[in-house]
């Protein structure tokens, strides 16, 4: 499976061909392009808490949801805290975080209800979408390095299995645009936490640098963890986009030192 760029109504976005081939869902990963926000938020900012004009962000949501074919009224937003909580979303949650106040904190959302559009944010951190086309269950996860170490994507798969009866071999995963190994430079705290969580198999995803720093491959680590959870390697798509290398087209927290908007990943059962 691959993640490719497409566009509709002048709005570019990324999709996973495996999700499209399986059918039954609408989904997309946003870029910076195609919105109405201005200044440091130009132009497709989907984050409400970054200082942008709320009406412009809402218009960006209208444009983006229309482009990828999900329900604007059915949006349910995550309220991310770099934790490992995966929240089960029901019809009662529809609109939370955008049309009404969100009353939860969660870095992962999961549902089997058609019409609910799970929404995750990122700006270097990884958006990960999960889809079981057999049991008709979806999940969306935000994984920075802490979420990666905590295995939040694998926890979402576990929840798909435990609550909805999914089989891991049926689950498709799309790891979206985020900071890649080329740019994710860290001190030793990150590789230490990663090797503690993953063991020796993590080492191929960590590079020691001559300046004493490390480069860590969060995308590879999440793919590795999903495989350990029982997903088939051919069911895991990984975006080649590095948000920091391509900071002109994607929001990068590191490149902008936090003066930025947010991109989103959305997934909805049809």
Residue numbers at the binding site for Zn ion (CB under 5 A): 180, 182-183, 242, 244-245
Asked if 98 and 74 count as a contact pair (C-beta separation under 8 A), the reply is no
Task: Give the nearer residue to Zn ion in terms of CB position, either 27 or 215.
Answer: 215
CB of 210 to Zn ion, least distance (A): 18
CB of 267 to Zn ion, least distance (A): 25
Q: Which sign does the torsion angle of CA 48, 53, 54, 56 carry?
A: negative
CB of 184 to Zn ion, least distance (A): 8
Beta bridge pairs of residue 96? 100
CB of 179 to Zn ion, least distance (A): 7
Task: Give the nearer residue to Zn ion in terms of CB position, either 99 or 213.
Answer: 213
Q: What is the largest CA-CA distance in the chain?
A: 52
Task: Give the nearer residue to Zn ion in terms of CB position, either 161 or 218.
Answer: 218
CB of 243 to Zn ion, least distance (A): 8
Task: Give the nearer residue to Zn ion in terms of CB position, either 91 or 240.
Answer: 240
Task: Give the nearer residue to Zn ion in terms of CB position, either 41 or 255.
Answer: 255
């Amino acid at each position: 499976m691959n993640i490719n760029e497409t566009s509709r109504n002048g709005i570019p976005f990324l999709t996973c061909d495996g999700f499209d081939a399986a059918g039954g869902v609408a989904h997309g990963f946003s870029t910076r392009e195609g919105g109405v926000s201005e200044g440091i938020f130009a132009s497709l900012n989907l984050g409400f808490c970054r200082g942008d004009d709320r009406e412009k962000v809402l218009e960006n949501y209208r444009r983006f949801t229309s482009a990828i074919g999900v329900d604007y009224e059915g949006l349910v937003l995550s309220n991310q805290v770099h934790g490992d909580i995966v929240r089960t979303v029901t019809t009662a949650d529809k609109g939370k975080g955008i049309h009404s106040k969100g009353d939860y904190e969660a870095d992962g959302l999961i549902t089997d209800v058609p019409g609910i559009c799970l929404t995750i944010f990122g700006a270097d951190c990884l958006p990960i979408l999960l889809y079981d086309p057999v049991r008709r269950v979806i999940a969306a996860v935000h994984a920075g390095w802490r979420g990666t170490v905590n295995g939040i994507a694998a926890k979402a798969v576990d929840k798909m299995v435990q609550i909805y009866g999914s089989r891991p071999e049926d689950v498709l995963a799309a790891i979206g645009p985020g900071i890649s190994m080329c740019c994710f430079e860290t001190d030793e705290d990150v590789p230490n936490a990663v090797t503690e969580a993953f063991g020796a198999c993590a080492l191929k995803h960590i590079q020691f640098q001559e300046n004493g720093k490390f480069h860590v491959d969060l995308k590879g680590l999440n793919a590795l963890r999903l495989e350990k959870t029982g997903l088939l390697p051919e069911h895991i798509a990984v975006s080649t986009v590095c948000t920091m290398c391509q900071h002109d087209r994607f929001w990068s927290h590191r490149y902008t030192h936090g003066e930025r908007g947010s991109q989103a990943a959305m997934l909805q059962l049809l």
